[in-house]
Structure 1
Amino acid sequence: MAPTFLLVGLPGLEAAPSWWTIPLITVYLLSALGNGTILCIIALEPTLHRPMYFFLFLLSVSDVGLATVLMPTLLGLAFADVHAVPASACLLQMFFVHVFSVMESSVLLAMAFDRAMAICRPLHYPALLTNGVISKIGMAIVFRCLSLHLPLPFLLAHMPYCRPPVLTHSYCLHPDMARLACPEAWGAVYSLVVVLSAMALDPLLIFFSYGLIGRVLQGVGSTEDRWKAGQTCAAHLSAVLLFYTPMILLALIDRFKLPLPQPAHTLLSYVHFLLPPLINPILYSVKMKEIREKILKRVLPTKVGCSQ
């Protein structure tokens, strides 16, 4: 087992690691504030205790969790130019990064399923998505995240490493660590299983759900009804594109060995992990009228947070 792993910073900023801490910390604080506000509003407002907002609650949990688990190594590089990370810390970060990533993907799929049921089967929707069903979906999401990634730290911890322990990102990721192990074939197979069972299957099912929604909306007679239904889905579809587009681009670049400069590759990975937690609260606050009204009701009159 490698005693330490070496992380890379943002290429081009090695000589001046201090100034880019400002946007990094700003992005994180705004992400925590936005997602924390969503969590507070949904928890404290009884009228929002419905399936759609339960899934939005889980999405905010995964967003703030993902942003938080990336911060230790990012801030270590930014503040102190610390590249060496103990294997135990690297494995722990890798585990939570992938757990929260799969959790976000699973929640986005559940939200697409919820919207499809609400629009395609409106009369049966309350009977189908009961509190008991929603609880089971939430437990299934947790079980899926843990079952896919719980073996990873133990497998990687007991693998011999015959390559220099230099990772290509500013945080620890499973494919990055698995390629250093010898032999690496098992790592490639396990990565393929995880990708196909989550990150490849989920977007296909999501866009299939939206295909069903689009077909139903074509048959809606009123333009106003189509507009309302479209607005309901707009925030979620934007979140889906925001999460999956950088991930798919990174996968294509790695798979086909496209000649992308390393700074662009690293920046794209930052976008994939850090932009959704920052943008999702804004999307849902703007696009979802109930969330927006509850936030304004609690924040503007008293100038205090959601504890009032």
Structure 2
Amino acid sequence: MSDSSIDLAKIRVVVIAAKVQQRQAFQHTLTQWGMTVLACMSPEQLEPSHLLLPAQLWLVDSDYNEQLYTVLDSPLQPLSESESRLPTSELTKPQVLVGFEPAPRGSEINLYAKWQRKLKRKLVSLLGLPSSLVQTTSVAAKRYQPWQKVVVLVVSSLNDMAAGRDFLNSLPSSLPIAIVLIFPPKNELNSYLHSLPKALTANNEWRCQVVDLSLNMQAGQCYIIPPELDVVCDSTGRLIVGSESNLTQSQSYIMQIVQNFSLALADQLICIEFADSSALYQSDFIDYLASQGSKLWQHKEGSSTSVSELNREPVQASVAQLAKHLQYLMTDSTETL
């Protein structure tokens, strides 16, 4: 069987893993390889309807969870011969891989690549695929840039937006971060919504877009959330667009979005408030974010923040200091600021 006769995109996968890092590593590796991930979730998110998904492969990685394995003991939806689309087309039941070694951080490039090869070899054996496919990467996936942190910028005026633009100008787009920009409803920025991507990226290499459809975030990209839409983020970094938002109060809207991102991303979230209103800079909300492992920084122009203060949460600093501090955080640099 030749590699060219196998369309990996037709191999559909459901991922269940308890740890966020493991879910992201599974999804990134499978997507990069060219397979189609139908769902990626924690054990608590599994519902009976997921068992009806037409997947050929289930990856399950979790500490023993009686409820989870009770659900999975139920018959998974059988696949017809035409649906299986695997090289061994006589398979009419999904394959299940239970347990796999923990994924290293994506920043540990050599260890992460080794982990990916191990996973691919395991799946090649399980699915009866040619071993040469271990080295295959889809053309589309080569353009995918995984993120390690998501940075939410909160703005509420044109002046705030200018500071956000300067922040992007000071930040290399090559960093493994995705940027999300939010502003409250009934705001002057609504009038400029679709011109913002061009304005924000005129003097830098970031790519920017207004979110109108659900998508997977990538590093090097800035996503603008329209305040009239109800957009939530899941633990894999997928922005899910729902119906129109019913929140009209600025503070409630901003807090709800940041709270959702913090709940989904935990310590992978950094929120930077550029807004003069300081809606988030309240002790109870700071404590909430800290309990999730998320960070809250605030733009304070003219700040003479010291190095020791930058290493304490919450951070208040100028645009230049915030950008520099983020770069050092992402590169684990030990140089002094």
Higher strand share: 2
Q: TM-score surpassing 0.5?
A: no
Report 1 or 2 for greater relative contact order, CA contacts < 8 Å, sequence distance ≥ 6.
1
TM-score (norm 2): 0.22
TM-score (norm 1): 0.23
